[in-house]
Structure 1
Amino acid sequence: METSPLAFIRRGQPVTLGNVPPGRTLLEVLREDLGATGTKEGCGEGDCGACTVVIGELEGDCIRYRAINSCIRLAHSVQGMAVWAVEDIAGADGTLHPAQEAMVRCHGSQCGFCTPGFVMSLFGIYQKYIAPTLVTTCTSLPPEGAFAPRGSPAALSASPPAITREVAQEELSGNLCRCTGYRPIFDAAQQMETLPAVKVDEKALVRQLRALACVRAEPVEALASTSTSSARTGFSARTAYLLPKSLQQLLALRASHPQAQIVAGCTDVGLWGTKLHMTFDSVLDVTQVRELKRVEHYDRHIAIGAAATLTDAFDALVQERPQLKTFAQRFAGLPVRNSGTLGGNVANGSPIGDSMPLLIALGANVVLMSARGHRELPLEQFYSGYRKTVLAPDEVVAWIKVPRPQAGEFLRAYKISKRFDDDISAVCLVVNMRLEGDVVASIGIGAGGVAATPIRAAATESLLLGKPWTQAAAQEAAVVLRAEFRPISDMRASAGYRTEVLGNLMRRFWLESQGVENINLELAVIPGLTRHDNIGAGA
């Protein structure tokens, strides 16, 4: 199988590489092909952040910057984008970027292995919070002195908000350090805006990215072989890495390449390569399909495209249901959310994936599409077994439809894991209840980590529906919920622990529905310190 040349912008110049295998990671290309060895491999699974780089992608007339993990990101997925590694942000004369200078001044590095990743996450923070306030030639960006982070609906204000400890903690959630205790790194994040400003020449970069897109968009005839599938899709029948730009092209490619491995961010499939050493003859990447990158709002639901990043998907969910903010922030670290997609998380079908219990509790449907047409079904009916789904060989997950909130809705999402931040759930439970008076008018309960698939707690829902919501009802629901599933014991938790926790969470839901406060783990920290500060203090 052959691959089209990989082309992206780095250091203000186009980079073109031929013969890049479909399973080769961006980290491998940077370190081994381009000699950018400042970017490190730590865990090889997107947990530690040592491999963090920043990508820039055209959105309309401007560029959106995202910090991502390069160790599990397939290299071809950055086709047509800009890429910054740690070697790329200092000035041509060697002047350090504020992200680097702040780390030096605040003594944010000890052993130094994690430092490049932290610097690149700081660069991402700089581009999100500080750069928009600078003079810019991008006409659709806010004027000088105004502030609106990209990807955020925040209204313009006279000056940027300070990068607080909380902001730094959220933005650095995907980077781990075992030496510094995080305090000096958070100090560096806050000091960046006091240093001499550095601007990306976005006007020039926009031109370069558009030129790159034009080069990539070769006419169908230029790429087509004699096969009819090539004529429909614009890709050679022998192309190994398929990167469609439209939904029509995606569906045609899926029909003609049913054995290709679908990827949608690679935050899980990437581990199949780094940990299981799996290889793929061909890959079908959905992340640049323009129709599926959107989040659309309708009267009764929002439709989240399968290629929308987890960051954008959770932003949309939190905008409608602010109580999900902490749950969303605990869904892996920011680089994982910036790269992974909601559609990929759903299609992967892991029983410990956090988005599915939430979507099940909210009553979400999944829309499956093929060249033959589409079908829609409740999310819990999408799974047929452990990591198995009802997808036909020529189908893809296209949309996740999430009902809008109803008046009187009481929603809580609980994630139980060994580590508070950036960890996989042992148990995930989401309860969405609506009362009419004191009677349960509707109830949705989704659970993860307790069965072979993400699952609806149908028996517990049936017990509660139409009944008065009382302490006795909650206690009975806890008993039924514990008996409803047969979890397994594994490295994250024992079966007995999971069963006990299920019932305890239902009791906690009762307490919170009665207005009891300050029982959340995220509030149990030393006053004045962040969670990471506490971790460092006890290390």
Structure 2
Amino acid sequence: MSPRHAIRFYLNGELVILDDVAPDLTILDYLRVNAMLRGTKEGCAEGDCGACTVLVGRLTGEDGGEEKLQYQAINSCIRFLATLDGCDLVTVDHLSTPDGALHPVQEAMVDKHGSQCGFCTPGFVMALYAMWLNGTHADRESVLLNLQNNLCRCTGYRPIVDAALSISDYGNVDDDPLVRSSAEALARLRDLKDGKRVVIESANGRLFLPADADDLAAILAEHPEATIAAGTTDVGLWVTKMMRSIAPVVFIGHLDDLRGITVTPDAVEFGATVTYEDARPAVESHFPALVALWDRIAGTQIRNMGTICGNIANGSPIGDTPPPLIALGAEIVLRKGNVRRAVRLEDFFIAYGRQDRQPGEFVESVRIPRPDPQRLFATYKVSKRRDEDITAVLGAFNLRIEDGVVREAAIAYGGMAGIPCRARRVEAALLGQPWTLATVERAMTAYEDDFQPLSDWRASADYRMTVARNLLMRFYLASLDKTDERLAAGGVL
């Protein structure tokens, strides 16, 4: 099948076909510069503030024999335009009716005084719109969770939360234009599916959209130097903050055959394009100790975009998922062509900026053993800001204790070295010892043998070392009370 040389998507109900798309052109820049739709704002250009929030609708695969159209809020400042192929893009400019009447979300924001300077307002409106469409605005806790990725420096958030809780007073979601036209939109997106590889050459380089996972393997065999981008939550900053070229780039976030979640009696396997939000039901069911951490991975828009495997593949020493997955004994499946190999996650990270991934190879999935209910397992994240912040120190603890003695221990940290890694000497100090305060205090003296953390603007080396030690003590104290929710649901600092 010959490749297609243009992307096709819908923008506020109108079909857009583009055959000259730069690999590094963001959705936000396209909207403001090319499409002249300037309601969507740029605040941070790194996915933090939410002023650039838009809705992207995509086909979600089969559910009971039928495809569904799902709209999610995403950050357009770090999402690349080419990733919209086959999608429905909705911006704040399209929200009010042709006669100028406000949408229920906008009415609620006006009446509750949810806007002051107004710069962040379009992003909040679109985040609230996504909540309303998806039914996640029912209570204050849900609203706060869904607004993590939107920052406001004026209102103090209370009137915005009030607006979120009152949207349904201004209209019925079933009367929303997107809901009423969902069948037509679904049919339009189905018509765009042709199963073809997309290849576009531009002055800034070449981009690829593979037809499927096999095609991805074929492209990487031909172009092993290519950048692989799934959710673009990290690669996006290479462009907006580091001014790096990402060409040639292979965008893979649309590949449904890599979006699978397989549950077996022993493990759960997540495919390469499974986002944090895709994974949430499985995490809640099979890894309850990770739920609190999941809610602190960036914010909703980022969790709608970012993938677990991407968080692993980029090799960041402060990624949120590698430490707990290492402690659980996870392994990844790497694929090159038709050859696959399994690698223990802790062995994948070699040194800062280096991973055990060959040219032309990609992370196809991650397999995570299901926690033994007889073990003690918890994860604690420490950051400057509770919500939507990068880790300063993250500790994960997985211990098997029999007859009061530590028989097995896997303790992993992020933010303590150039890679996420285990605290081997701390583990050794615990093994074979009684699970007591004295044992824990002795083990705390072994941290300096495992780690020599760096100082940066997030935390000093001394602070990191102190926190790392204290997290072990916290884990011990929580273990004394089996009803302690921190042990069952992960810690929050």
Instruction: Mark the runs of 5 or more structure 1 residues left unpaired by the alignment.
Output: 131-161, 219-232, 526-530, 532-539
Aligned match for 2:82, one of 70, 76, 79: 76
Change (3 A) 1:322 1:380: same
Task: Say if 2:198 and 2:209, in contact at 8 Å, map to a contact too.
Answer: no
Change (3 A) 1:235 1:25: closer
Aligned match for 1:116, one of 102, 105, 122: 122
Cα deviation code 1:21-64 (max 9, x no counterpart): 01100101111111110100001000111011111111132111
Q: Quick check: 1:167 aligned with 2:156?
A: no
Q: Specify the alignment match of 1:58 in structure 2.
A: 59
Change (3 A) 1:350 1:234: closer
Aligned match for 2:229, one of 248, 255, 263: 263
Moved more, 423-432 or 282-291: 282-291
Instruction: Mark the runs of 5 or more structure 2 residues left unpaired by the alignment.
Output: none
1:86 and 1:393 mapped to 2: Cα distance?
Answer: 41
* 1:101-180 aligned within 5 A: 101-129=107-135, 163-180=138-155
1:489 and 1:524 mapped to 2: Cα distance?
Answer: 24
Q: Quick check: 1:407 aligned with 2:387?
A: no
Change (3 A) 1:285 1:523: closer
1:323 and 1:14 mapped to 2: Cα distance?
Answer: 44
Task: Say if 1:482 and 1:500, in contact at 8 Å, map to a contact too.
Answer: no
Task: Say if 2:54 and 2:74, in contact at 8 Å, map to a contact too.
Answer: yes
AA aligned opposite 1:81: C
Q: CA deviation at 1:371?
A: 0.8
Task: Say if 1:251 and 1:370, in contact at 8 Å, map to a contact too.
Answer: yes
Aligned match for 2:185, one of 205, 209, 214: 205
Q: Which runs of 4+ in 1 moved over 3 A?
A: 233-239, 516-520, 522-525
- Tell me, what secondary structure is at the counterpart of 2:446? helix
1:514 and 1:176 mapped to 2: Cα distance?
Answer: 39
- Tell me, what secondary structure is at the counterpart of 1:240? strand
Q: CA deviation at 1:334?
A: 0.9
Task: Say if 1:108 and 1:180, in contact at 8 Å, map to a contact too.
Answer: yes
AA aligned opposite 1:94: G
Task: Say if 1:3 and 1:19, in contact at 8 Å, map to a contact too.
Answer: no
Task: Count residues with an aligned counterpart.
Answer: 477
Q: CA deviation at 1:524?
A: 13
1:245 and 1:113 mapped to 2: Cα distance?
Answer: 39
Q: CA deviation at 1:281?
A: 2.7
AA aligned opposite 2:361: E
Moved more, 508-517 or 35-44: 508-517
Instruction: Give the TM-score, by structure 1 length.
Output: 0.84
Cα deviation code 1:214-263 (max 9, x no counterpart): 3xx34xxxxxxxxxxxxxx7858998211113111111111011111111
Aligned match for 1:196, one of 171, 175, 179: 171
AA aligned opposite 1:208: R
Change (3 A) 1:64 1:15: same
Q: Specify the alignment match of 2:457 in structure 1.
A: 491
- Tell me, what secondary structure is at the counterpart of 1:384? strand
1:234 and 1:265 mapped to 2: Cα distance?
Answer: 18
Q: Quick check: 1:183 aligned with 2:184?
A: no
* 1:274-289 aligned within 5 A: 274-289=240-255
2:278 and 2:408 mapped to 1: Cα distance?
Answer: 28
Q: Specify the alignment match of 1:304 in structure 2.
A: 270
Q: CA deviation at 1:283?
A: 0.7
Cα deviation code 1:416-445 (max 9, x no counterpart): 111111011111111122322322233221
* 1:308-457 aligned within 5 A: 308-457=274-423
Q: Specify the alignment match of 1:38 in structure 2.
A: 39
Task: Say if 1:3 and 1:241, in contact at 8 Å, map to a contact too.
Answer: no
Task: Say if 1:251 and 1:369, in contact at 8 Å, map to a contact too.
Answer: yes
AA aligned opposite 1:468: P
1:374 and 1:442 mapped to 2: Cα distance?
Answer: 30
Change (3 A) 1:374 1:320: same
Aligned match for 2:99, one of 93, 100, 104: 93
Q: CA deviation at 1:410?
A: 1.9
AA aligned opposite 2:122: P
AA aligned opposite 2:10: I
AA aligned opposite 1:63: L
Q: Quick check: 1:291 aligned with 2:257?
A: yes
Aligned match for 2:447, one of 481, 506, 519: 481
AA aligned opposite 1:113: F
Cα deviation code 1:141-191 (max 9, x no counterpart): xxxxxxxxxxxxxxxxxxxxx711101000111001110000011011100
Q: CA deviation at 1:446?
A: 1.2
1:164 and 1:288 mapped to 2: Cα distance?
Answer: 32
Instruction: Give the TM-score, by structure 2 length.
Output: 0.92
1:77 and 1:235 mapped to 2: Cα distance?
Answer: 12
Aligned-residue Cα RMSD (Å) equals 2.4
